[in-house]
Structure 1
Amino acid sequence: EARWESLLKNNIEGGYYVLEAARQAGVRRVIYASTVQVTTGYALHCEPYRSIRTGKFENVPDTYEMVKTTDRPWPVNLYAASKVFGETLARVFSETSDLSCICLRIGAVNTMDTDREQFASLFCTRNDIARLTECCIEAPDSVKYDIFYGISDNRYKWTDISNAKDRVGYEPEDKFEDPGWG
């Protein structure tokens, strides 16, 4: 867990200064790096997300409602709370200026020290996150503000990535279950 002083300086103040500098410079769009952790509360406290997170896939029904970016945030630590603030700040800038802001709730891009069970649902390859970022950069001007989950097309994901396909054309090519990953 990051210390509050670091989060305040880097995520709260730093996020504001980046957005304000982008606005003043007439930048077209900012891609804000958020985190899937802003909705971790669902994976800790609600089924079937808890079973997915803990690798108890036998408890997961064939179909289930995934957590959408329109569902309320549920951070469980200060880092995630600071990212919710960043998403909200991006929304304010997109509403009050010409700046377009797209927030990416990035999943587990690095594999080295991630819990295997949790990793299966949050996994995102470097190629997929690069693909999503490129889709966001190239998105039409009509995408003034949005939030997308940066997750590969994993079998047991609990976050809904369909709005990224619908809004910016993101189609992940990888999944945790592919040979060499899981």
Structure 2
Amino acid sequence: MSNERVLVTGAAGIVGRLMRPRLARPDRVLRLLDVQPIEPAAPGEQVEIVTGSITDPAAMAAACHEVDALIHLGGISREGSWADILDVNIDGTHTVLEAARAAGVPRVVLASSNHAVGFRRVGEAGPDGLPADSSPRPDTYYGVSKAVVEALGSLYHSRFGMDVTCLRIGTCFERPADVRGLSTWLSPDDCARLLEAALAVAEPGYRVLWGVSANTRGIVSLRAGEAIGYHSRDDAERFAGEVSGTLPEYLGGGFCEIELGRADPL
């Protein structure tokens, strides 16, 4: 029986680098794609390094060849100009999905973001938290692009039968950087658990899930993730003594305060 091959776009990015060792398995080959340099394979590591852009149809067609599943992390991860966001995050995701469709890739995981619903007020979460499939309220051009990513995923599932999971990722770093992060943190280990659940779910479908750990101060519902086998083991509360400040009014935090097209949130 051949090894499972999983293509990971954006493999040189923050989340991609965190996931590389956590997704490694003896029966899995990770095909890692990015326009930026990627660390070469270590001895015994089952990886294939691909240099290419998610905006390049030929590169993506080649990258999707003989792939069993795709994890799409590639793209601009902050606010940017409309032209750049459109080219990379929106048109680029369409290029990725079209290449996957043409290659017969049956399962795709798309990195969405909390910024697709960034203008949801924290106070509207309710006792069970903000549902994973809450309708979009993007806070930036970047947030708009993630709402479009989810819509494209829905289209490719409904029209072509592709299994698509969209992850509204909160704050995926080794540790939260501020008070907001105590609510939105997704530990790297939990991120890998969520990805594994999305790769293993038995029934094909279209889903939007929160990519957040089971934080004591959590404001989103993890029920949709739990329904496919995601069970968080981490809680940002252990970092509470390291941060200060107050929880912002909106889920998107600083992204709700910047000018459209400005590169960095306040």
Q: TM-score range by the shorter chain?
A: 0.7 to 0.9
In structure 1, C-alpha distance between the alignment counterparts of 2:233 and 2:204, rounded to whole Å? 23
Match of 1:170 in 2: 230
Whether the 8 Å CA contact 1:34–1:106 is kept in 2: the answer is: yes
Q: 1:27 aligns with which of 105, 109, 122?
A: 105
Q: 1:128 aligns with which of 160, 170, 190?
A: 190
Alpha-carbon shift at residue 81 of structure 1 (Å) = 0.6
In structure 2, C-alpha distance between the alignment counterparts of 1:77 and 1:35, rounded to whole Å? 11
Greater helix share, 1 or 2? 1
Q: Secondary structure at the residue paired with 1:47?
A: helix
- 1:25-77 deviation per Cα after TM superposition (whole angstroms, max 9, x unaligned): 0001110001011112113xx5266xxxxxxxxxxxxx724111232111111
Q: Pick 1 or 2: higher relative contact order, CA cutoff 8 A, min separation 6.
A: 1
In structure 2, C-alpha distance between the alignment counterparts of 1:92 and 1:158, rounded to whole Å? 29
**Distance change in 2, residues 1:181/1:143 (3 Å):** farther
Supply the RMSD in Å over aligned alpha carbons. 2.0
Residue 160, structure 1, aligned to residue 236, structure 2: no
- TM-score scaled by length of structure 1: 0.83
In structure 2, C-alpha distance between the alignment counterparts of 1:132 and 1:149, rounded to whole Å? 9
Q: Which has the larger radius of gyration?
A: 2
Alpha-carbon shift at residue 112 of structure 1 (Å) = 6.8
- TM-score scaled by length of structure 2: 0.58
The percentage of counterpart residues that share the same residue type is 27
How many residue pairs get matched? Answer: 164
Residue 72, structure 1, aligned to residue 150, structure 2: no
Match of 1:56 in 2: none
Residue 99, structure 1, aligned to residue 175, structure 2: no
